A and B are shown apart, each in its own frame.
Chain A
């Protein structure tokens, strides 16, 4: 059986919390941005698209450093947020922010594709039946895009779970506060004799990711059947 130390259990629980919060909080923004990119033309669209995909191509340590500059205690937004009592740097909430930012391109990409795949003729039909833009989105477009939204959320969750570079740069590696599974594995591989413990955490990381993928596949298939009207 698994014999994990309390600190390691803490790291596992923290990772799950960070990844869940990162996914849940970024989901509404991800849907909004994906809808804008899929259905609207506006000045600056290409720039918005590039900025959203930036974390995918930047070295994670650069993203983490940028987060520190913007959301650190003396950062542009960080100082203002600290005044209203929200501190992100060196807290688990900051880890969630870093993971959310790193996972955002994957989330938006999957949802955007699924919204683009929704046939606009159903949106036209909804309009003739009295649905304004917002209701059409809520009752027709998003339900039809649901398989892609689920896939995007799981992808984002898995990415958030594995995030390392941006997180450790922005919120460091504090046991019990910001030390996720990845950071704990990294720490264990730095100390003599830590390999066995690291391997157990590796096993847990693989198991969580596998379960997430299987659950998403199952949900995706169910949602797909609904969408195809049978």
Chain B
């Protein structure tokens, strides 16, 4: 088969040595939600950090949205700020000195694109964060903070979304509150997403594809049936 990637395909093939730990993975994703699933220490966060360009693989290739982001053989290494990858961090990382509205607008501001009020309204409606716009991040609950972080990543018009355990810091009630938004996002946009989690229940509800990791290697790929019962 010719290795011809459709534009919404993701290809990740990387090697990285992190002290004693050797990470060596290869997997593909598509326009759905690809879950990186595995115990802590299996290399999940290191992988998404390399896809985002926040750290550099020793060797390999990363392709997303028809765009080669990294290719050690061809000496390609796009800087993080040019990758257009929406990254939702575990701890949200909203800028504490900006209001919610300015946090949401930050990606658009940095890209120099004109303001798009319709898109802004669409995203704030999708996530029910319109009433929060004037608030400061310090005055948000954990669930609100993660919804704003999700909105901020969406509004930069990413080619790919990286969701790094976005619910890990939330209690069970907050998780139930926010999970429907991820499902809605999956069903209402065609945006490819990589969703990192160690919680099988969470992955079962959101993923369309599962990449199971252990000890820095891919041990299985397939559908949610990989998670067992």
A-to-B contact residues, CB < 8 Å? 121-122, 124-132, 135-136, 139-140, 143-144, 146, 226-230
Contact residues, B121-141 vs A (CB, 8 A): 136-139
B82: which A residues are within 8 A, CB to CB? 130
Given the interface pairs A130-B84, A130-B107, A130-B156, the reply to whether A125 lies near B95 with Cβ below 8 Å is yes
B157 to chain A, nearest CB (A): 10
Asked if residues B139 and A129 are in contact (CB atoms below 8 Å), the reply is no
B75: which A residues are within 8 A, CB to CB? none
Asked if residues A228 and B96 are in contact (CB atoms below 8 Å), the reply is yes
Asked if residues A129 and B106 are in contact (CB atoms below 8 Å), the reply is yes
B-to-A contact residues, CB < 8 Å? 52-54, 79-87, 89, 91, 93-97, 106-107, 110-111, 136-139, 152-153, 156
Asked if residues A130 and B137 are in contact (CB atoms below 8 Å), the reply is no
B134 to chain A, nearest CB (A): 13
Given the interface pairs A128-B80, A132-B81, A230-B136, the reply to whether A140 lies near B86 with Cβ below 8 Å is no
A135 to B53, alpha carbons, bound, how many Å? 17
The residue among A121, A127, A129, A227 with the most chain B CB atoms within 10 A of its own CB is A129
A124: which B residues are within 8 A, CB to CB? 54, 80, 93
Asked if residues A140 and B95 are in contact (CB atoms below 8 Å), the reply is yes
A133 to chain B, nearest CB (A): 8
Asked if residues B96 and A125 are in contact (CB atoms below 8 Å), the reply is no
A228 to chain B, nearest CB (A): 6
B229 to chain A, nearest CB (A): 36
Asked if residues B97 and A144 are in contact (CB atoms below 8 Å), the reply is yes
12 A-B pairs besides A130-B111, A229-B97 with CB distance below 8 A are A122-B93, A128-B53, A128-B83, A129-B156, A130-B107, A131-B110, A139-B110, A226-B97, A229-B96, A229-B138, A229-B139, A230-B136
Asked if residues A230 and B138 are in contact (CB atoms below 8 Å), the reply is yes
A202 to B95, alpha carbons, bound, how many Å? 45
Q: Which of B81, B83, B137 is the one whose CB lies under 8 Å from A229?
A: B137
Q: Which of B86, B137, B139 is the one whose CB lies under 8 Å from A128?
A: B86
Which residue from chain B places its CB closest to the CB of A133 in the assembled complex? Answer: B81
B87: which A residues are within 8 A, CB to CB? 125, 128
A126: which B residues are within 8 A, CB to CB? 81, 95, 106, 110
B106: which A residues are within 8 A, CB to CB? 126, 129, 131, 139
Report 26 cross-chain contacts, Cβ distance below 8 Å, ordered by A residue: A124-B93, A125-B93, A126-B81, A126-B95, A127-B54, A127-B79, A128-B80, A128-B86, A128-B87, A129-B106, A129-B107, A129-B153, A130-B81, A130-B84, A130-B110, A130-B111, A131-B106, A139-B110, A140-B95, A143-B97, A146-B97, A227-B96, A227-B97, A229-B94, A230-B138, A230-B139
